[in-house]
Each structure stands twice: as structure tokens, then as C-alpha cells.
Structure 1
Amino acid sequence: MAGRKRSIRFKIFAILLVPVTALVVIWGFAATVTIEQGQQLLRIQKVYDNVVYPVSETINALQTERFVSVSYLAWRTASLRTDLQGQRRRTDGWADEMTRLSEQARDETPPAMWSRVQDLIRQVRGLDVLRGQIDDHTLTRLEAIEEYSSVVETANQVYDRLMISPDIDIVGQTKALILLVRSREVVSQQSALVLGAQASGRMSQDERDAFSGMVGKRRLLYQLGTSQLDSTLLKQFGALNASPVYSAFLSLENDVIARVRPGQPLPPDAIAWPTTAQALTSQLTETTNVAADVTAARALPLAQAVLWRIGIVGVLGLAAVLATMFISFRFARTLTGELTALHRAARDLAERRLPDLVRRLRRGDDVDVAAETPPVVQRSDTFEVENVGNAFTSVQQTAVEAAVGQAELRKGVNKVFLNLARRSQSLLQRQLGMLDSLEKVTADPDLLERLFGVDHLTTRMRRHAEGLIILSGAVPGRGWRNPVRLYDVVRAAIEEVEDYLRVDVTVPHGYSLVGGSVTDMIHLLAELIENATVFSPPHTRVHVRGEVVGRGFALEVEDRGLGIPPEELERLNQRLADPPEFDLADSDRLGLFVVGLLARRHNIRVSLRSSPYGGTSAVMLLPQEIVVEAGMHEPAVQPLSQPEHVAPALALTPLAGGGHDSLPKRVRQANIAPQLREEPPLRQDPEFREQPQLREERSDVFSSFRSGWQRAQEDS
């Protein structure tokens, strides 16, 4: 028996046969019903605490605000204004509390009831318009009552969609109590209407008609509600009907209807209306609450019976489970052991072996597919477990082969990048040499200016070719043996940017960069400066600043653009700090990807942050190992021999291949007409030399005057 292999279906059937039989018989007829009833009781309690109660308090707050608002419209006193502001804050407070509590019971609230709650919240939030009209006295008292009453009606509709118990009798008594609550709302409306009429001493025709309608509506709701109550609950309201307060209220209603005429003074008895209505409202509220407590008490035995059923079913189910544990233990232990071994082997493959294999492939190591794909499960007594193990073995072999293929493909793509970039770089170097030769022999200023533009464009093309080399993991061919001044490095990076005329540089001259980092630093700076010029308005300036800090040398590129959202800024900083593997599909941020690779190569920290001017600042922290002080570790930097007409975009072809130790410098007056190259006599003036701003202004004026004079001679 021990050597025979059984199917997993047989073992599972043997394990689950007894517990399934027991649990289906016991739980099938009782568990579902009782558990649902218990959950329904819990939902009812949560809905009452989180929806019904805050809605009730919101109704009371709205009724009070309506009463105070009508009082303010009637008398317009400062004290009533203060009371009104305080009541509005209380109403808004209960609205906020209702919003918070109802959100906690959203899943338990019936959809129709939830929809009414949301309508109520929106209407209470929109009371600002009504309140403004009351403050401006643009509403009549009756209109204010109607507006508030429409909001309270929405609140009462929340009750209409309440299911407090599955028992039909309890539901019927609850509906009757809701009708009585509505009749209490009509009493509140009547009180507000009569109170407003007392201010002027008379009722208008519309107010009298509205009051008559309220009387009929209240009596109908009250009669419908009490007629549906059972004998026990009806006794509570029978005592209320026989009370002197209710009799006095009915008498006042009849007097107002019978004796009040539109435009005529109110009868003297109407003065007692607020006191009588308030007393009736209190007794009606108290009686309704007592009836609600009695109704809730009736639901308690039902809840207890459900809880008992749940307990009995739970105990019987537990006994059945305990009985089946001993029978299924022998089979389950063997199957569990096999599945656990399979699980461990699969996790070891997913969490350790495959990630280690991928890391080795990324380093360029050779991988033996057969040696890296041993069987996941060596032996099993169950057919299905052994088949699953073989499937995992096949999956791991396919995954390893795919990873090796991807690594080979990545190497091939990198070689293609490198090959194309090297060819492009060679052609661009030749093109720069030809442009340099043409610039030396050309005397036409217009043609020379065009050659300078092509020179600048070629320099930028060379930078993009170097970007492909960097993406392929290689190093560009340009290099320097000796340190180069940081100022010259920044200047060379600016010359590789299209809109270089917008860039201002403030970098001290006393520090240099070691030769091995110059090429990558030029490329890194050029990428950041070009981003700053591209993503900022053309009329703004881009500032490049540098200073010595405690841990090296800091360079900052700041633009005045629209900036980057904080979430995107955080994501870009993470990519700069830890550049991910290059993805061919993600080509929108190639510049920042190149920046991250170059920064990691030289241990440079690059971070983006928001600029106080609204744009973005890129801060580079150069480590002390690659920054030296000028004069300590480098020879004096001598400018390269250049023709007098050096292009505005520096052609760095004399600099390729590490043949020189410094960067070229611009030649003064390189791009102006030959007849203007001599220094005007005005520049010999000491005042002109000592004041740069004055020098620039006078130079511009003198140059404009001289060129205009020459054009006039040529025209004549």
C-alpha cells in the first residue's frame, strides 16, 4: 500500500467525505438562514446608530433653524441674528456628523435609503443660498418655511426606506411611528407660521391657506399613524389625545381657521400658540420615543432566538469537524507533506534561483541552461503532485531559456547601439573637422554665421550619438588626461545646447575637474541644461551656479518654467538615485536616464527640486575625489589655437580623443563684421572700463550709430 500511487482526487475525496456529509446535513438547513439573520440584525443596529440617529438630530436642527429664521424675518433684531448664526452652525455640525457616520455604514445601508441620505446631505450643504436670501430679507416668511420643509421632507423619506426587522408586524408598527413623526414635523411648520404672523399681528391670504393645509395634513398623518398601531402602542397615544395640551392645541387650530381673516388682527388666543405648540411637540416626541422603544424591545427576543440558533449550529458543526479530524489526519499528513515540499521548491525557484540567474545574466556571465534547471520535485507518491512538479520543472526551464534569450537580445541591441553610435560619432567628427576648415577660409560674415549654426547643430548631434554609447554601457571616445577648469566644463556643456544664449553661468574659476570625468560631466550638464531651456518659456533665463560645499562641489541648473508636480518629481528623483534597467519602450526620458547612468558612474548625486521662482532646479553634488583646486594638481589651462572667427557653438573636434588637456575658449568679436572688429576709442576711457553696465550701454549706442552711418554711405 505504501508504494502505490493514488490520485489526489481520491485522497481529497477520502479526506472530505465525512466532514462534507456532516456539514452539509447540519449547516445546509440552518447555517445559511441563521447567519444571514444574525448579519441582518447587526446591519440593522449599525444603520440605526450611523444613519437613523444622526438623521433624526439633523431634522431637529433644521426645525429649530426654520423657527429662528422665521423669527428673524419677522422681528429682525440683533439678538435673533446671533441666535440664528449659532443655530446654523449647529445644523452644519450635525450635517457633518451625519456625513461621517453614514459613510461608516455605507455597505449595510439599503441602496434606496443611502440615495435619500445623499440627497439630504446635498440639500443641507446647499442651504447657503437660502440663508443668504434670509439675511437679505428677499424671502417671505411662508417661502422660508416651505424651503426648510422641503429639506426636512427629504430627511423623512430616509425613514420610509428603513427595514428595521424581517418581522412584518414590527415593520408595520415602525411605519405607523414614521407617520406620527411626520405629523410632528407639521406641528413645527404651524408653529413657525403662527410665530411669523404674530410679528405683524395678522396673516396674509397665502399664510392662512397654508395654515389650513397644514392643519388638514397634520390631522390626516396623525389619524393614519394611530390607526395602524396595535392596542399596546395605541394606549400611549390615547393618553396624549386626552391630555389638556392636545385639547388646547386643537382649540387653537380651530380658532385660527375659524376666526382669522386675511389682513385682520389675530385673535388674542393666538398669543398662546408658541407655548402650546412647544408643549405638544415635547409630549408627541416623548410618546413617539416610548413607542419606538417598545417596538425595539419586541425585536430583542427575535434577535436572541437567532443568536441561539447560531450558537447551536456552531457547536454541532464544531463537533462534526472534530470527528472528521481524526479520520482525515492520516491521509492529510502525507498529502500536506508533498504539497509543502512542492511549495518550498517553487518558492526557492521564484525568490532565489531565478533572481540570482537574472543578476548573473545582467553581469554578462555565461549560463548553462541544463545545470540551472534541475527537477523541482524528485519523488512523490501522488500522480498529481508529481505532474505538478514536472510542470514546474518545465516552467523553470522555459523561464531560464527566455531569460538567456533576453540577455542575448539585450547584448545584441547594445552592440547595435554601440556600432551605430560609433559610426555616427566618426562621421560627425569628420564633419566638424570639415566645418572647422571652412570656417578658417571663409570671410563672408553671413556664410560664416551659417557655418557656425551647422557647427553647433553637429555638436548637438554628436552628443546624442554619445548618449547611445552611454546607453549601450560603453564610454565615449573623447577624454582628457589632465584636470580641466570647472568653468570651462560648464561652458562646453552650454555650447552643446540649442538655446545656449539664454544660459547664465556663475561658477568660480578656482576649481577643476579631473580629466577622466570631463567628458561625462559635459554630457550630464548638457542634458540638464537642455531640459531647462526646453521646458521653460523662451523669454526666461536659465542659471547655472556652482560653489564649494562640505562634501565636494555643488552645481545647480535652475529654470523659470512651470515646474514639475510633486509626485512626478519624487519619481524622477528615485530614477536618478537608482537608474533602472533601460527599457526600449520608455523613450520619453532618455536624457534623464543618461544623466542617472553618468552620475552613478562617477558617484555624483543628482536631485531635482522645485525652484522658488516656480520652475525646477537640478542640483549636482560632485564628490571631492573628482574636484581639484586650480594650480595644485593641474598645469595652467591654455586656450587652444583657434581662428579669429570661432563659432558661437564651440566645435569641440580639436578636443576629441583626449588629445588636449583643456577646453577651447571663445574669441572676442568673433561674429561681428570685419570693419567693426577694431576696438572703438570709447573703450579706452577708464570710466568705461570700470562700469560694466555703462560700457555695455555706450557700446551698443556707438555700434548702432556707426552701423547706421555706414549703411547711409553705402546707399548714397
Structure 2
Amino acid sequence: MKLFRMTARLRPRSVRAKIVALLMLPIVSLMALWSFAAVTTVAAIGDTERAKDVNSELLAPVAEFVTALQAERTAAMRYAARRSETGLDELRADQQSTDDAVKALREGLNSSSSDAALIDTGLPDRLDTLEADFSGLATLRAETTGSGAKDAVTTGYTKYSTVIDHAFAVTGALTSEQGTDATSEARVVLELSRVRDAVAREQALLAAATASGTLGKEQYARFVGAVATQRELLKPAVADLKDEHRPAYEVLLKSDSYTTLAEVEDRVTDAGPGPVSAAVIQGWGSSSEAVLKGLREAETDAGTGAAAKADAFGWDTLGASGVAVVLGLVGVLLSLLVSVGVGRGLIVELLDLRNSALEVAGRRLPQAMRRLHAGQGVDIDAEAPMRRLAGDELAQVGTALTAVQRAALKAASERAELLSGISGVYVSLARRSQVLLHRQLDLLSVMERRQQEQQNHAELYDLYRVDYLATRMRRHSESLLILSGIAPGRGWRDPIALSDILRAAVAEIEDATRVQIWAAPRVSLTGGSVADVIHLLAELVENAAAFSPPSTKVELRAARLRDGILVEVEDSGFGMNEEAMADANRKIQSEKVDLLDAKQIGLIVVNRLAGRQGLRVELRQSTNGGVAAAVFIPENLIRDDMPAHHEASSDGLTPATASALIQQRRQ
């Protein structure tokens, strides 16, 4: 439930937001894919740059150190087997080369920007071991070439080879960062490095044997092992190289130097341990140097040299990912432009459609309705010209709205014509009824005067009752005129006292004796408002009497306020629920009334009268359980001067008083 509510809150509210979300979803997805390709490409560029840095700062110096140390090992073995000035000079020259390589490697380690632990978790320990080997070179040299050293050849060979193995361990850890597309696989290059070291070991062992004239059993075993390692690794490793790096090795394998090298290896192997004759090792020196040089050059081209030449922004690095990044960026931009264009056009069309609908609903249609209610004609074709059903769905929606507007105008026009006809019927019936009622009232007046002269009180009372009924009938006919929007013919020119107005209103209902009129303020109302106020109060008093028990009283009282007079009609009936009360007040206070509503026509009459005189009428719950109707008469209808003929107010309403009021209203 919480997830549903959160989703509902995040859901776009406006059409603009929904369209933007709908159009942005594929763009965001495309941008995510493009970002992934871009990040991958940038990572490849970074890997290439980092590999180049590792190659230049660490791998290349390590390879140079291994090459120098291999040469020093050969010279040290030769000098340890037979000491001579020439051998010592060669050894010192190789030692200087090794020292230079150590210095370059240390500078690379110090200037390297790569974290050794991030390259390989075991690399820091391997570098520490190699650093310890650097510090122990002096001791190693002393043990190998010192005048008192015993078994110098075996000891030197073992320790030099151990240092070289430590260097290869560092190389193996570093090759995890050497994986650029420009180089061959790091494993293959490392195997070829070990092939070159195997040849260098053969060279060192035979150099010692040549110098001493004898190849010992241990030296022979190591020589045979080096040969086996070299031959086992070389050809399979060459086959695994990239195509552009393989030719250099293939040329070397087919060269005379390598052929001679293999022949010497075979002769030494076949001869076994013991004295070394010149015939057995004939051609070894030049062939071994040439093979070592060729292996070194080919290894450099396939590994460190290729890495140094790698272009971080070249095709080998970027390749398809670079093309994907460029095409993806173009696709994102095109999608963004198309989406913005389509979305903006769609939003503009929707806004125009919304504005048009709001204009029709808020201005044009209400104005046309007001003209129709006022009895003016409306040209439907001019107000809502019909459009052809063409274009896209939005245009069709606009056409549908126009059709709805035309239907509403047509219905309102027909309703206005119907109301106009009904109003005409109301007026015709009311006029005819008024003529007959005036004649009836005149006849009743003659009969009342005759009975007064004869002092026949019983007959006179019955005539008064008939007079009440005729007066009510006349009020109902006047209601028809009021509903039709026509003012009744009756009226006063002079101000009338408020108390007389209250009595006159009570005199127009059947149960006038049930109404208790409380003392009214000594003020009068302007003559132009008297008829409407009497009629309005009569409707409210009659309604109160009709919807309350016959045994109860209806109270009519008035009070002077600062800005007008408040008249209240209160009954002790059964009351109204809140919904019925709100509906009645809406009918009384609404600016628009429905003449076709046959229910509570009296409230519609009250609405028309209150609107014409500027009165405010409201129904509310009474404190005794019934309904109280409050009528506020504004100050502009009130006069504080009392008419000279005004009689004293009373709480009751006698037949004589009622007759006097009726006679007064007939004037």
C-alpha cells in the first residue's frame, strides 16, 4: 500500500509532465546506454595509458635489468671458472650495466603513479624482495668472484638465477596491467622471456665449462634442463603470439644462428658431463649471442615495445566501442531534438485545445446562455462554426468539442424557447385570472358593505373568509407574473408602515389567526417595495403555516439593525434536514432559477422578489425544532417617518383589521 501511494505521488499530474516523461524515458535509456559505452571507452583509454605508464616506469626497466643481470651472470661464471684480466674487465663492464639498470628501475619505482597493491595484491611483496636483491648484489658478487670463494660457479649461478626469477615474478604481476590491444597476451610474452632466460642460462653454464674445460654433472643437469625448458616453451609460445608479432620469432627459428645453437645443444647433451672439447661447442659463442639478441628484440616488439607504441586514441584501443560512443552521441542528440520538437508541438496543440475548451466553457458558452435567458437570439453557426472531421486525433477532439458546444447551444435555445412559451402562458393565465379576481373582489366589497349596514355578522364573517380566499388566488396569479419576469400591476406610491405591511402579508394566507405578529419597529418602507415585500412575506408565512401542526403558532417579528431591518418568520414544525435546507437556500439565493422545477414554486417566487428589491433571504433551523426564515431589508428601502394614517399595531389580526388592509391593498 505504501509503495502504491508513493507511486501515485510520483506519477505526473499534468499532461505536459506526462508527455515529457513519456518522451524522456527512451532518451534517458539511450543516454544510459551511451554513458555505459562512453565509460567503457574511457576506461579502455585509461587502461591503455596506465599500461603505458607501467610499461615505461616498471616493465621496461625490469626487462633491462634482467638482460643486464643475465649478461653479468655469464661473465661472472666465466671469471669464476678461470680468473683473468680480460674476464675481469668484461665482468666489471657488465656489472656497471647492471648497476645502471638497477638505478633506472629504482627511479621508475619512485616515479610510478600506479598503486602496486591495486595492480596486484602480491606485487608489493615481490618488489620488496627485488629491492632486497638489489641491496644484496654486492654480497652476491663477492661470493661469486671473491678470491676465497668456494664452489663459486655453482653458488653464483644459483643466486644470480634466483634474482632473475624474482624479477620474472615482478614481471608476472605487472603484466596484469599490460593488457592493451597493441600487445600480445602477457602470459605468452612472459613465457618467451623465460625462453630467453633459458638460453642465457645455457650460455652461462657453457661459459663456465669452456673457461674451466670441464662440464660438471650438476652443471650438465642444469644445462639439459635449460635446453628442455627452452624447447618446450618456445614454439608453442610463438604459435600463441599475435599475427604481427609472430614473424620475428619465425625468422629467428629459421635462422642459421638458431640452427647452430640447437646443434651445439644436441652435441653437448649427447657428450654428457666431462671435458668440453672445442669441436662440441663450435659456433656456440656467436650463435648464442645472436639468438639472445634476436629473442630480446622480438620480445620487445611483442611486449614492452608494442605497449610503448600503443595509441590510447587509436583504433586498436577504441575500436567498436569508440564508434558506438560517437554513433550513440549522434543518436542521443537526434532523439533529443526529435523528442523536443514532437513533444513541444504536441504540448502546444494540447494547450491550444485546452485554452479553446476553457474559453468555450468559461466565456463564450455562458455569454450565449445569458443572451438566451434574456430572450435574445443566438446564431449557433456563428457562435460555434462546425469543423470538418479531418486531421489527427487532437483535431478530431476539437471537432468533438465544437459539436458538444453546438449541442449545448441548441438545447439551451430550445429550452429558452420553451421557457418563453411557458412565460407567455403564465402571463396570459395570470392576466385573465386577475381580471376575474378583481371583479370578484369588487362584488365582495359591495356585499360586505350591505351586510355591514344590515349588521349581519355571521354572513359578514363568511364574506371575509371568501375575501381571504380571493386574495390568496390573486397572490397566486401575481406569482405567475413574477415567475414570467413581469411586475404585478398593484403598487403604492406613498410609504407604508412596517406593521401594516406585516398585517397585510398575514391577511393573504388562509390561517391568518395562527400567526402571531410581534411589535414592529416604527418605520415605513418606500412605496415601490411594499407590494413585493408583502408578497414575499406572505409566501414565507404561508409556507410556515402549511408545514407546521395546526395547533402551533407561527411567529412574525421584526427588529431594527444598524444597516436595515431583519424580519423573521418562525414555525414550530418538523424542521428540515441539512440537505433539504441547503437545497432550499440554493433555490432562494441562486441567480439562475429553473422555471420547469415544479417543486417549491414559492421559493422561486421568493428568489425573484428578493432579487428585484435587493433583499437577502435565508432559511435556518429554529431553536424550537422548526424552521426560521430571515429576511433582511436594506436601508435604502426604509424610511423613519411614519404615515399619518398609521394605526397602532396589535398582536392579533381581527376580521375588521383584515378587511381594512384588504381594502387598502385594492387601492
What band does the TM-score fall into relative to the shorter chain? 0.3 to 0.5
Q: TM-score, normalised by structure 1?
A: 0.42
Normalising by the residue count of structure 2, what TM-score does the alignment of the two structures yield?
Answer: 0.45
Question: Which of the pair has more CA radius of gyration?
Answer: 2
